[in-house]
Amino acid sequence: MVASDGTTSADAAVRLGAQLVAHGRGTMHVVTVLPPAPLVAADYGVLLPPIETEQQRRDALMTRVRAQLRELMGGEAEVTVEVRSGDPASRVAAYAREVGARAIVVGLGHHDLLDRLFGGETALHILRQSPVPVLAVPTQAQALPTRVIVAMDFSPTSVLAAKTAIATFPGISILYLAHVAPRLELQPEAYAAWMSEYQGGVEPAFQKVRAELQVPAHMTLETITLTGKPSRVLLDFARSAHVDAIVTGSRGAGFVDRMLVGSTATGLVRGAQVMVLGVPAGAATPQAGSGSHEEWATRLTDFTRRNAGRDATLEVDDPDLGAQTVHRGYPFLGASWDHHDQRVELMLGEQDTTRHFTRGVTGVTAVDVLTDGHGRDAVLRIAHGSGQTILTLVR
């Protein structure tokens, strides 16, 4: 899915989105978002823009985006274009959930001081809310990357980010796995001794990751350990190695983690002059897509069998209201499909006590099970309407 406002700043996103679709033999969806019209103050009152103006703005935006697509992709390209109104980041993330997008492509935008101060960094805001990987593309980008660096802290999310990079970019010639060691306030001799011991643990970790990635034969894999502030040293290395894409994972599937994203991912998105692929923890490959009611019933039964008794957090993510935690720290008891009421039933609490509750989810459009980097169930995602209910397994 490509997010575009029809301006030249989104041209590269359209170009690379089309290339990704050609590689994956998928379908390209384009979403454009009309932000709310500014209100005009009149003495002690407020003047609302006329309704006709709103429709004219929507028509002009659609015309501009379609003209962009014709120019960059030709008149024969089959592309779905959708116009939404509201906050761009939340609407883009919500539409990605609706269409089951595998990735979002967006222009990297400008990195001036006002953007950083006032939060006008749409790519970063989309990453904070997206359930799928987000590829932020600078305006000068013409083709998918061949030299890629992955920020590696040996967490399941960083390994997932490396796997996503390999799957997303078919033409990678060299893949760097870069680990940033912490900089401790020690005397030089003590720091050198500690660093030597630390390196002894890093190399076996790299070997484990290398074995798990199963890198294709045409791809060269190199590992490197850096020291300093992660985002800064990664950006410096990317420039020196002539890297054309930086890949990073973002922490956690919880609401707070999604909002914070992580200082490393934030620093990379803000400072990069090349493509940045951000991979949220919840973007692990689904075991199955939307499917039929019978498939949902089987999927929920199997999920219950594997995970009953694990502590869980239940959230409801709504594009208008944001994400809200409903219950935290209760054991997961079960999930099932109610054929009579056409809804998903979720039960959390303690067995053989009155401390349990059931939540029904109606209007279901998809049931997905997301796994972590070790193949263990991590998230049960139930899409409904323009939102989703997320059950995150804690342990």
Q: pLDDT by residue (tens digit) across 352-389? A: 656 678 889 888 887 888 776 567 788 888 878 767 78
Residue 258 has pLDDT above 50, yes or no: no
Least confident of 90-99, 100-109, 165-174, 346-355: 346-355
Q: Does the pLDDT of residue 251 top 70, yes or no?
A: no
Q: What integer pLDDT is reported at residue 108 of this predicted model?
A: 83
Quick check: is 343 in a domain?
Answer: yes
- The answer, yes or no, to whether residue 317 has pLDDT greater than 80, is no
Alpha carbons 282 and 199: distance in angstroms, whole number: 30
Residue range of the domain that includes 312: 293-393
Residues 377 and 315 in one domain: yes
Please say whether the beta carbons of 30 and 83 come within 8 A: no
DSSP β-ladder status, 377-384 and 174-181 = unpaired
Which CATH number do you get for residue 273? 3.40.50.620
Same domain, 54 and 92: yes
Q: Which whole number is the average pLDDT over 159-171? A: 89
Are 278 and 197 in a shared domain?
Answer: yes
Percent of the chain with pLDDT over 90: 27
Give the per-residue pLDDT at 383: 79
| 130 in the same domain as 11 | yes
Distance CA 389, CA 307 (A): 17
Name the pLDDT band for 291 (thresholds 50, 70, 90): low
Q: Give residue 120's pLDDT band: very low, low, confident or very high (50, 70, 90).
A: very low
Report pLDDT for 369: 82
Q: Are residues 276 and 301 in the same domain?
A: no
**Residue 231 and residue 303 in one domain:** no
Instruction: Name, of 201-215, 284-298, 320-334, the range with top average pLDDT.
Output: 201-215
Residues 153 and 263 in one domain: yes
DSSP code for 286: B
**Residue 315, pLDDT score:** 84
Vertex 164, ends 272 and 206: CA angle to 5°? 85
Residues 7, 123 share a domain: yes
How many domains are there within the chain?
3
358 and 311 assigned to the same domain: yes
Report the pLDDT value the prediction gives residue 222, as an integer from 0 to 100.
95
> Do 201 and 131 reside in the same domain of the chain?
no
47 CB-contact burial (10 Å; exposed 0-12 / middle 13-18 / buried 19+)? exposed
Mean residue pLDDT across the chain? 80
- 304: domain CATH number is 2.70.180
Q: Are 158 and 204 contained in the same domain?
A: yes
Identify whether 127 is part of a domain.
yes
Mean pLDDT within 142-162: 89
List C-alpha distances in Å: 151 to 195, 211, 322: 19, 17, 29
Between 256 and 62, whose confidence is greater? 62
The number of residues in the chain equals: 395
Beta strands in the chain (DSSP E): 2-3, 29-34, 40-42, 45-47, 80-85, 104-107, 134-137, 147-151, 174-181, 220-227, 245-250, 275-280, 311-318, 322-338, 343-349, 356-362, 364-371, 377-384, 387-393
39-48, 189-198, 211-220, 371-380: least confidently modelled range? 39-48
Whether residue 288 is contained in a domain is answered as no
Q: Which of 232-246, 252-266, 304-318 has the lowest mean pLDDT?
A: 252-266
Q: Is the pLDDT of residue 77 over 80?
A: no
Q: Which helix (H) or strand (E) holds 176?
A: strand 174-181
Greater pLDDT, 364 or 39? 364
Same domain for 91 and 213?
Answer: no
Paired sense of beta strands 147-151 and 174-181, if any: parallel
Averaged pLDDT for residues 182-186: 63
Strands (E), 11-145: 29-34, 40-42, 45-47, 80-85, 104-107, 134-137
Mean pLDDT (whole number) for 318-346: 80
- Quote the pLDDT of residue 355: 67
